[in-house]
Amino acid sequence: MATHIDLKPAAPWRELTTSRDDWNAADPALLGTMLTSMVLIRAFEEKVLELAGQGLVHGPAHSAIGQEGGATGSAVMMRASDQVNGSHRAHHQFLAKSLAYVAPDGLSPTAAIGGDVRDLSKKTMAEILGLAQGFCKGRGGSMHLRWGDAGNLGTNAIVGGGVPLAAGAAFAHKRAGTGDAVFTYFGDGATNIGSVLETMNLAAAWKLPLCFFIENNRYAVSTHVEEATAETRLSARGLGFAIPSWKVDGMDPLAVALASAEALEVMRSGGGPTVIEADVYRFFHQNGPLPGSAFGYRSREEEQQWRRRDPIDLLAREMALRQLIGDEEVAALRARAKALMEDVAGELVEQVDGKRRIIPALWPSPDFRDFGVRGDLSEFDGVRTEELETFTGRIEAQARFVDVVADVMHRRMGEDDRIVVMGEDVHRLKGGTNGATRGLKEAFGDRVLGTPISENAFAGLAGGIAMDGRYVPVIEFMYPDFMWVAADQVFNQIGKARHMFGGDMAVPLVLRTKVAMGTGYGSQHSMDPAGIFATAVGWRIVAPSTPFDYVGLMNSALACQDPVLVLEHVDLYNTKGPAPVDDLDYFIPLGKAKVVRPGSAMTILTYLSMVKSTLEEVERLGVDAEVIDLRSLDRAGLDWETIETSIAKTGNVLVVEQGSVGTSYGGFLAAEIQSRCFDALDQPVQRVHGGEASPSISKVLEAAACAGPKDIEAGIRRVMAEQGLALA
């Protein structure tokens, strides 16, 4: 008969409740601050719902009325330098952290409301209404609230999407040794999201000061928590990752405060992440001014039971029992808060012909539409740029490409201790799977981190590091196809962050990945991601084809204040070419293409390994083609001056790429060329690309799927034939 031994979790899991003694021992000033904060937040939320009911909130209004205890109870225990982020339902968390910031000495329930609180309320309401006065200049609305000064990292419309970003901020705090911590707020629905669980694992493995604060309001829109998971005590998630966890009644602000204090003690002492589950209840539907019962997924009786447990009423009663406040003073506080919100709304909304409307002058200008999608590259003012033809330093004629990849990173990390490198196996195997990080772990220790297999988590963590601004993350995706695993973090978060939060924040991040067509790794390891990234918002893309260019372009990528995708190709790794011997400090400007062969019969635009293949075919066929190595591939980085000058001379264009027609970069580029250069073209833009299907494992089928020398030759012949010319 088998023997069974009960196993114990590696971390504690506790339920915390308050007693009469806890209330008696509580600092009256703390209780007064929590009461005032919750009343202000409630009044704000009620005003937002009123405006939404009048059709003045464009988009959703996810109120957190009823959930104020969780936000306020945790925020009052934080330092100003601690940070938070949250999900789409986060007005209360944003305001709780911001109120603690603007009133560091606390909020008295009997004092007049200060101007800083008024300004905060107005600016937050303006943002929710989509106005230029808002924290994100109207771009964020209800779901994307950010105020970096107050420690608000930015709220998020993707369920669970902000959790990896919070881990990045926590990483920065740990590395800086500040003792600061981060709270990431999310709901019951997000506890089943992969990015949340991946981040719990990574935060625990790396001992990050991050609190996973679960607001369990029991409903993800209308789906009940018991329908979504077998373990409805959501703080149990922490046990699987050895994270100390607390379960508290979120309708009891003091219980939340006490649990938060204990969690902060763990995090500040180097104990790593924590989990707090607060049982709360949203009094209204997922969005808008109606209760959930109006939509039939919960009963009025259930709603009334929870309303009788209102956290504001609970705190007011406990304070009154201890003669810290009276009913009249509570009523007066509520009236002051309501009057404040009425006054603030009155400065944003006006009455015209019996109807309320946003004051027109407060809308953002349409000209502001694209501002801040990316930076202006002013960070490159005064830097030294070089090209191989003008370089005066020592050159090694036969430098191996992949060695230069490692050498330039070694140089930059030696000069800039802000750079941290992370990815799967980058710290082992003598430089990762291809040697691109050779020697970095030995030289720079804990600045080179091997990650769990969790692209979504470590990409988002790197995004959070970048937004923090103290460090420059360089991450490696072993294969570009893995971007789909991390698509939310790569495209929804990192790519959109600068623009979404108002256009004035930097996101300095480098993502390295290798195109591996021809290696036999099949459909899920072989894509060229240039076409996907070029049509996404916010990313810059560089594609070096020579060792010399790699040095200058990687230096530019590391100095750029935008996220940069650095594309490499396995076919280039073992090739040899000219590279600097000891001067690794020059830049090749982002947005600067290079004419690698002059000509007049046609313009051939290409990048990465296809530059060499194209040059070989042009020389073999004896055609007078001008070959341009694009080098920068993103929309803002295309060197139209060089491209248009060449097209004006040749009148004919061939775009050459290796990858699939389905995710083609050339389709985007050809459309842009025909729009901009139509009058200069003698024929439609011609293209060389791979097949529709992804490359297969079979050597024969893989070769058929990827464009190669024969396809380049066929493309050149098509262009010449359209001109009535034939090649031998």
Three-class DSSP category at 205: helix
Strands (DSSP E) along 48-197, which ranges?
Answer: 83-85, 182-187
Sheet with 625-629, side-by-side order of all strands: 594-597, 625-629, 602-606, 653-656, 686-688
Q: Which two tokens stand for residue 558?
A: 């590391």
The sign of the dihedral angle between the CA atoms of 24, 30, 33, 38 is negative
Residue found under tokens 């996220």: 563
CB 506 within 8 A of CB 377: no
Three-class DSSP category at 27: coil
Q: Which two tokens stand for residue 121?
A: 């309320």
Three-class DSSP category at 510: strand
From its phi and psi, is residue 503 left (phi > 0), alpha (psi between -120 and 50) or beta? left
Q: What are the backbone dihedrals phi and psi of residue 305, each rounded to the nearest 5 degrees, phi first?
A: -60, -45
Compute the distance between CA of residue 210 and CA of residue 528 in angstroms, rounded to an integer: 35
For Cα atoms 419, 421, 426, give the angle at the middle one, nearest 5 degrees.
Answer: 155
Pick the closest to residue 119 from 84, 76, 150 (CA basis): 150
What is the rounded (10 degree) CA torsion for 137, 492, 285, 227?
Answer: -160
CA distances from 113 to 25, 163, 393, 434 (A): 27, 33, 66, 61
User: Position 382: which residue type?
Assistant: G
Q: Which two tokens stand for residue 452?
A: 């769990």
Pick the closest to residue 525 from 688, 666, 694 (CA basis): 694
Compute the distance between CA of residue 531 and CA of residue 522 in angstroms, rounded to an integer: 19
Q: Which residues pair with residue 597 across a beta bridge?
A: 627
For Cα atoms 709, 715, 721, give the angle at the middle one, nearest 5 degrees.
Answer: 135
Residues belonging to the active site? 455, 525
CB 200 within 8 A of CB 241: yes
Pick the closest to residue 465 from 413, 419, 496, 503 (CA basis): 419
The alpha helices in 129-247, defined as continuous H runs, are: 163-176, 194-205, 225-228
Compute the distance between CA of residue 237 and CA of residue 536 in angstroms, rounded to an integer: 34
The sign of the dihedral angle between the CA atoms of 12, 17, 19, 23 is positive
Q: What is the DSSP code (8-state) at residue 166?
A: H
For Cα atoms 120, 126, 132, give the angle at the middle one, nearest 5 degrees.
Answer: 115
Strand 576-580 to 395-400 pairing: antiparallel
Compute the distance between CA of residue 639 and CA of residue 646 in angstroms, rounded to an integer: 11
Compute the distance between CA of residue 342 and CA of residue 376 in angstroms, rounded to an integer: 40
